[in-house]
Amino acid sequence: MTDVEPLERHDYDVIVIGAGGAGLRAAIEAREQGLRVAVICKSLFGKAHTVMAEGGIAASMGNANEKDSWQVHFRDTLRGGKFLNNPRMAELHAKEAPQRVWELETYGALFDRTPDGRISQRNFGGHEYPRLAHVGDRTGLELIRTLQQKIVSLQQDDHRETGDYESRLRVFAELTVTDVLKDASGAVSGAFGYWRETGSFVVFSAPAIILATGGIGKSFKVTSNSWEYTGDGHALALRAGAALVNMEFIQFHPTGMVWPPSVKGILVTESVRGDGGVLRNSEGKRFMFDYVPDVFRGQYADTEEEADRWYKDPENNKRPPELLPRDEVARAINSEVKEGRGSPHGGVFLDVSTRLPAEEITRRLPSMHHQFKELADVDITAEPMEVGPTCHYVMGGVEVDADTAATAVPGLYAAGEVAGGMHGSNRLGGNSLSDLLVFGRRAGAGASEYVAALGDSRPTVSEADVRASVQTALAPFREASENPYTLHSEMQQKMNDLVGIIRREGEVREALGMLDEMDERVKSVGVQGKRPFNPGWHLALDLRNMLAVCRCVALAALERTESRGGHTREDFPKMDPQWRGVNLICTLDDAGDVALKNQPVPEIRQDLLELFERSELAKYLTDAELARRDGPPASQPGAAQGPDDGSGA
Amino acid sequence: MSYDAKFRVWRGDADGGDLQDYTVEVNEGEVVLDIIHRLQATQTPDLAVRWNCKAGKCGSCSAEINGRPRLLCMTRMSTFEEDQTITVTPLRTFPVQRDLVTDVSFNYQKAREVQAFSPPEGLQPGEYRMQQVDVERSQEFRKCIECFLCQDVCHVVRDHEDNKQAFAGPRFLMRVAELDMHPLDSADRRPAAREEHGLGYCNITKCCTEVCPEHIKITDNALIPLKERVVDRHYDPVVWLGNKIRRRKD
């Protein structure tokens, strides 16, 4: 049924895989730089997971507090990531985010306003000042719709000029890419995929591909992520020869719904806490005061009274510990539940009903009010919510160059959640939407520059590779024993149990054994029915990506013998400065197996290090690194002789 | 707490199909989409359905439940009696692709026909100033998750295929209203609303408002005010005269 069918073919300058915030911003940039662009997405246009983002876009515009600046944002981002961030990415992100947000207004976005008519900014965990541009609690929807409408606007320009809306920018919706194609030299030559509607295959020729496929949450049982989040971009990059960095760092958002079971994992926005909501255990205690770690002492309130005063007077009071970075809050909730102080359905209580008047709650948190009312029969203006950790975001991802978003594979770029490094070991709320915009734009620009430099000598698609892709894609249509749904749900359960929020060596090893077994079982997954819109087949193909990604997560989780951000080892509960300087890199070896190696984290430039007090750096850096920051002894005439490894100023 | 429910699900494609009967387990707190997923996982793995967020935020899982346009993920099983047969069919206004999945490209074509936001001249990024009270009107319409239930229920196109050419549907007339009410949009949206998007076809039966899962008051807050503004412009004798004179100058 395959060899004879003629394949649909397209030719573009750039292919963007993924139509969330990063993908659309990348496509806009590449199109504005004059390239012909295809955007490919697994869902309908405008349904990407970005719509789920609730809280806001972090950008130091200084509208709510004029003391804010890119330097403060940079500092908060590194603190949140426990200093493992790619410092250049964090710098570019903090510097460029305001411009990216203002630009959205020129596309038609309507953010909530300050009394003087500027963009309103709200408080969020880990951000020193109110920094998140927002639209109620549906900021992601505003972002996706704004970018979608900007794409349409560019298509309207093209229509006026050429008579064809799709002459320079076309969206291929409900099309799944299964392989990145390369030429003999190893450069990107195109992509192979299938239309979900018909099941027919498509070959794209293009010298540049931007991966913007989002995350990997569907490998875990309890997740806030949609079915699309199967780690496609991570796996495509890996198979194409690029590297993944720090896949052990997975953010479990502290507040997901826990009841009823069918909605377990669905996100409850951090804005609930930013706007005054508090966490309580079954004894009614605001337990977060017991969980402020040493590195954050001094930045968070010690008493409920001070914490409550902060909402009105942030200048003279310290912030409530409910607004610690997400990894800290998630671990705290986990401990409370484990020690028997949880809520009836295995979470804790998140209460805003006693903190704000009902009309204020429905105005500030309309979609949360709606979500709990409709899905759980809970009125959040009158009673507390039950919440618990849910797999939300992967900090790890494709290793990229900070300035251009280029991977190690010529022509392959990555931006947004699929890219790694920017957030270090833990992402702050609000830094994702800004990440999408900043690095989406940079990926579009990077790819445009690469394509321009190629001139007419473009890599060509190998027909043998296309035939191989057809075969792989059709393989699940066989008489076979394994049901893809069963395999998937077993994998999700095991990953949740064994490589979840708290990890132990023995369990991670058990997970690796399970993955070995699954790698075998996936070979005998079979699907029923035909190719048109067949979800069983689609899942069978996604499984291969999830298995590859899970292996990277487990290998890296086993290797990193410390606890930091989104990686908690019960057997190594402390943060270790030696590990701060280490990135864990996964690549495929010649046999197609995942290989893991250690690689130094890019150094933090001296001027960026100087944004921090020495006493704070001492909590994270090794003595040698601190000495380097202090500079050679000559620059400090009074100082005693210290070690100098020669790499300093 | 579990029980077995009777489901009838439309199975087929563009060439035809019919309702098929299933008996399937239901647990406490579940929504119709959970049951469709259970059918996929346990009885009929190739059952086609669109979905994404499962939290009423993306607008993918639109279908008709017992004849009413609904989001599958926001329809709780507890709203039905245990012995009630639940019938799930694809959106009627759009061509079926397979099972519960329809071809909604009509909506994307209509979206393209609405002229995009026209930025004000002379304002740089970062210089936009708007009052909250002024943005709120358009913000209500920007809550739209594009589930297209309003497009599905609207009788102008639901029962009249031939109106699809001339009529943009509630979702995109609301988009015109949204831009019209945007404090800084510099285009006049009124002529196109009437001449290109078929505003006059709407006879304000409010079916769109009734099915909107975001509870947007589409008719009252978007369509009626837009009609009033169009009427003011189109039938106002002074405007009429002004247009005549201006046209003569051209």
**How large is the average pLDDT for residues A587-605?**
96
- Residue A102's pLDDT is 98
B13, B48, B130 ranked by CB distance to A117: nearest = B130
Q: Confidence band (pLDDT; 50, 70, 90) for A643?
A: very low
A156, A259, A483 ranked by CB distance to B112: nearest = A156
- Residue A628's pLDDT is 86
**How large is the average pLDDT for residues A547-565?**
97
Q: Distances in Å between the alpha carbon of A349 and those of A277, A323, A326, A331, A355?
A: 10, 15, 16, 15, 13
What is the C-alpha separation between A118 and A116, in angstroms, rounded? 6
Considering only CA atoms, which of B99, B102, B94, B87 is closest in space to residue B46?
B99
**How large is the average pLDDT for residues A420-443?**
97
- pLDDT above 70 (res B250): no
Contact B46 A103 (CB under 8 A): no
What is the C-alpha separation between A589 and A595, in angstroms, rounded? 6
C-alpha dihedral (A25, A26, A28, A29), degrees to nearest 10? 120
pTM: 0.94
Encoded tokens for A315? 């200048």
What is the C-alpha separation between A241 and B205, in angstroms, rounded? 58
Q: Distances in Å between the alpha carbon of B113 and those of A318, B168, B199?
A: 52, 9, 14
Sign of the Cα torsion A97, A278, A254, B51 reads negative
- Residue A632's pLDDT is 75
Q: What is the DSSP letter of A486?
A: H
- pLDDT above 70 (res A3): no
- pLDDT above 50 (res A639): no
**How large is the average pLDDT for residues A81-105?**
98
Phi-psi region of A618 (alpha: psi -120 to 50; beta: other; left: phi over 0): alpha
Residue B50: closest C-alpha in chain A: A43
**How large is the average pLDDT for residues A618-625?**
93
pLDDT tens for each residue of A390-423: 999 999 999 999 999 999 999 999 999 999 999 9
Q: Is A217 helix (H, G, I), strand (E, B) or coil?
A: helix
- Residue B245's pLDDT is 72
Task: Using an 8 Å CB-CB cutoff, list chain B residues near A21.
Answer: none
- Percent of chain A past pLDDT 70, that is, above it, reads 97
**How large is the average pLDDT for residues A437-447?**
98
What is the C-alpha separation between B128 and A470, in angstroms, rounded? 51
Kindly report the nearest CA distance between residue A409 and chain B, in angstroms: 31
B46, B179, B182 ranked by CB distance to A536: nearest = B46
Q: Which of A36, A75, A273, A569 is catalytic?
A: A273
State yes or no: is A273 an active-site residue. Answer: yes
CB-CB contact of B57 with A226 (8 Å): no
CB-CB contact of B54 with A217 (8 Å): no
Kindly report the nearest CA distance between residue B193 and chain A, in angstroms: 17
Task: Using an 8 Å CB-CB cutoff, list chain A residues near B115.
Answer: 156
Task: Using an 8 Å CB-CB cutoff, list chain B residues near A267.
Answer: 55
- Residue A618's pLDDT is 94
**ipTM associated with this complex:** 0.93
- Residue A2's pLDDT is 47
A103 touches chain B (CB under 8 A): yes
pLDDT tens for each residue of A461-514: 999 999 999 999 999 999 888 999 999 999 999 999 999 999 999 999 999 999
Residue A223: closest C-alpha in chain B: B53
Q: What is the mean pLDDT of chain B?
A: 94
- Residue B233's pLDDT is 72
Considering only CA atoms, which of A7, A18, A8 is closest in space to residue A415?
A18
Q: Distances in Å between the alpha carbon of A564 and those of A127, A337, A392, A510?
A: 19, 21, 17, 22
Spell out where A196-245 has E strands.
201-205, 208-211, 244-245
* Contacts of range B131-138, beta carbons closer than 8 Å, 24 or more positions apart: B131/A113, B131/A117, B131/B183, B132/A112, B132/A113, B132/A115, B132/A120, B134/B183, B135/A110, B135/A111, B135/A112, B135/A113, B135/B182, B135/B183, B137/B181, B137/B221, B138/A110, B138/B178, B138/B179, B138/B181, B138/B182, B138/B183
B48, B138, B144 ranked by CB distance to A110: nearest = B138
Q: Confidence band (pLDDT; 50, 70, 90) for A202?
A: very high
